[in-house]
């Protein structure tokens, strides 16, 4: 009788609607890295970081935010991909990210109103409604409502960036329509108060997303993958809700979409930075899976879920059908891969490391969230510098270092924008 451990379903291949094949069901989900070089291009640090994740055994790598407009960044140090940027650094990045044979997709994003005032570029949004965060609203500029011609330009920017991603050697793109960024702002009735073709009923509020998907698909080859990152809910009263997400997925069913990643929240209600109170397998792990099962019941494309997963048993459980609803097809892992870049390879070898992600319970929740992100970013920077992750990083020192670094990168960004305008 064999004592061999049965193969985990996490390592079964997955064929996407366009025929592309993921070698397994584990994806490195997007994290905000802010590690671009002085020209807002992917440099050596990002190549080293992504090569580590590729070697670590994921079937799919999703990049952090790649910004389609140089005047609209989620933060300083973000990668920018538009017609003015050279492709050579992106080709080198794609080669590193795919070095072990996995898929690597760029996550294309426009932040809309979720930009920092310190960046000095103003903000745009569906409507002139600012970000509302207790004690922090003043850090964000009051946005200008987009005109129809502005919207057309943004759609073109997404399509152009996707074409450049394919030319660089990436195997797909993910259109970011979650976390309160611009497309998510259009989807939400709280931030979208327009009275034209892009506002009012959900069909109008979803128009930008659907137009972007169509424009992107028209500019890339059939074998190039197109995914969408969508909120399962915004977790704000009167905002984008689960039933809205279900309807949007029904519309996306009619388009050539290869994967939908489900997450939730925004800067105003940051569920993506911590578990919501309902719809969870456990309080701190896989907290969007139940939402994904609801949405997966109507989806024709595979569903990926991201949110706090760091144990193989939890990931395997999310793949299983439950109560007549399907399991998810792809498991996205983010912070755990900052602390254990080779986590998938270890799981495949039946090594189960305990990935401890520090919990920060400061009274000021805004600062606690910032510190938690700073601790994760500290790991990313260490890996990008060729060092091992450090598990006992001081949250306070990480936060201070992050803020100092952000100030330095903001100054560098303003100089870069000035050079472009000269």
Is 0.75 topped by the overall pTM? yes
φ, ψ for residue 52, nearest 5 deg:
-65, -40
Predicted local confidence at residue 178, as pLDDT: 94
Instruction: Give the whole-angstrom CA distance, residue 229 versus residue 174.
Output: 7
Report pLDDT for 5: 56
For residue 201, list its beta bridge partners.
none
Question: What is the per-residue pLDDT for 272?
Answer: 47
What is the rounded CA–CA span in Å between residue 72 and residue 21? 33
pLDDT at 270: 63
Q: Which of 339, 279, 359, 281 is nearest to 313 (CA)?
A: 281
> b/e string for 357-370 if b means 16 or more Cβ within 10 A?
bbebeeeebebbbb
Q: Kindly list the structural domains of the chain, giving each domain's residue range(s) and its CATH number in brackets, ordered by start.
A: 9-359 (3.20.20.70)
Helix, strand, coil percent values for the chain (each to nearest 5): 40, 15, 50
Phi-psi region of 24 (alpha: psi -120 to 50; beta: other; left: phi over 0): beta
Q: Which of 107, 92, 101 is nearest to 49 (CA)?
A: 92
pLDDT at 273: 45
CA dist., res. 251 & res. 211, Å (int): 11
What confidence score (pLDDT) does residue 4 get?
53
- Distance (Å, rounded) from C-alpha 223 to C-alpha 19? 7
- What the block records as the tokens of 314 is 């939890």
Q: What is the 3-state secondary structure (H, E, C) of 59-92?
A: CEEEEEEEECCCCCCCCCCCEECCCCCCCHHHHH
Return d(Cα 202, Cα 199) in angstroms, integer.
8
Question: What is the reported pLDDT for 6?
Answer: 66
What's the CA gap between 288 and 275, in Å, rounded? Answer: 8
Question: What are 316's two structure tokens?
Answer: 């395997």
What is the phi/psi pair of residue 262, to 5°? Answer: -105, 130
What pairs with residue 322 in β-bridges? 325
Which segments in the chain show pLDDT lower than 70?
Answer: 1-6, 269-287
Identify which of 283, 275, 280 has the alpha carbon closest to the alpha carbon of residue 293.
280
| DSSP designation for 146 | P
- pLDDT, residue 275, reads 41
> Please, what sign has the CA dihedral across residues 85, 88, 89, 91?
positive
pLDDT of residue 156: 98
CA torsion through residues 80, 406, 55, 301, sign: negative
CB 231 within 8 A of CB 179: yes
pLDDT value at residue 280: 35
- Give the dihedral sign, CA 126/130/132/138: positive
């Amino acid at each position: 009788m064999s004592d061999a451990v049965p193969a985990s379903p996490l390592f079964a291949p997955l064929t996407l609607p366009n025929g592309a094949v993921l070698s397994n069901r584990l994806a490195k989900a997007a994290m905000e890295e802010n590690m671009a070089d002085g020209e807002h291009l992917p440099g050596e640090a990002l190549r080293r970081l992504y090569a580590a994740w590729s070697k670590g055994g994921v079937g799919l790598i999703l990049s952090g935010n790649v910004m389609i407009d140089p005047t609209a960044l989620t933060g300083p140090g973000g990668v920018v991909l538009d017609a003015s940027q050279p492709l050579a650094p992106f080709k080198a990045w794609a080669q590193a990210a795919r070095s072990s044979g996995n898929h690597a997709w760029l996550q294309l994003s426009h932040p809309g109103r979720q930009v920092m005032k310190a960046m000095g570029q103003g903000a745009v949004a569906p409507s002139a409604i600012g970000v509302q965060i207790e004690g922090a609203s003043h850090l964000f500029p009051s946005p200008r409502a987009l005109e129809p011609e502005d919207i057309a330009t943004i759609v073109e920017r997404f399509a152009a960036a996707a074409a450049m991603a394919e030319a660089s050697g990436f195997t797909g793109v993910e259109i970011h329509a979650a976390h309160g960024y611009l497309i998510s702002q259009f989807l939400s009735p709280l931030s979208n108060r327009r009275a034209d073709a892009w506002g009012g009923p959900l069909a109008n509020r979803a128009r930008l997303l659907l137009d972007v998907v169509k424009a992107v698909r028209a500019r890339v080859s059939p074998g190039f993958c197109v995914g969408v990152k969508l909120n399962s809910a915004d977790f704000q009263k009167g905002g984008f809700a689960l039933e809205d997400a279900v309807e949007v997925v029904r519309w996306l069913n009619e388009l050539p979409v290869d994967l939908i990643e489900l997450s939730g929240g925004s800067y105003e209600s940051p569920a993506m930075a911590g578990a919501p109170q309902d719809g969870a397998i456990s309080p701190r792990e896989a907290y969007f899976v139940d939402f994904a099962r609801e949405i997966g019941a109507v989806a024709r494309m595979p569903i990926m879920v991201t949110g706090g997963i760091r144990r193989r048993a939890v990931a395997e459980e999310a793949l299983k059908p439950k109560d007549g609803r399907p399991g998810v097809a792809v498991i996205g892992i983010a912070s755990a891969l900052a602390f254990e870049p080779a986590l998938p390879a270890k799981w495949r070898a039946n090594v189960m490391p305990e990935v401890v992600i520090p919990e920060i319970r400061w009274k000021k929740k805004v600062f606690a969230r910032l510190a938690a992100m700073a601790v994760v970013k500290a790991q990313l920077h260490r890996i990008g510098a060729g060092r091992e992750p450090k598990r006992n990083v001081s949250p306070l020192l990480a936060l201070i270092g992050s803020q100092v670094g952000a100030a330095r990168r903001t100054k560098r960004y303003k100089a870069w924008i000035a050079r472009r305008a000269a």
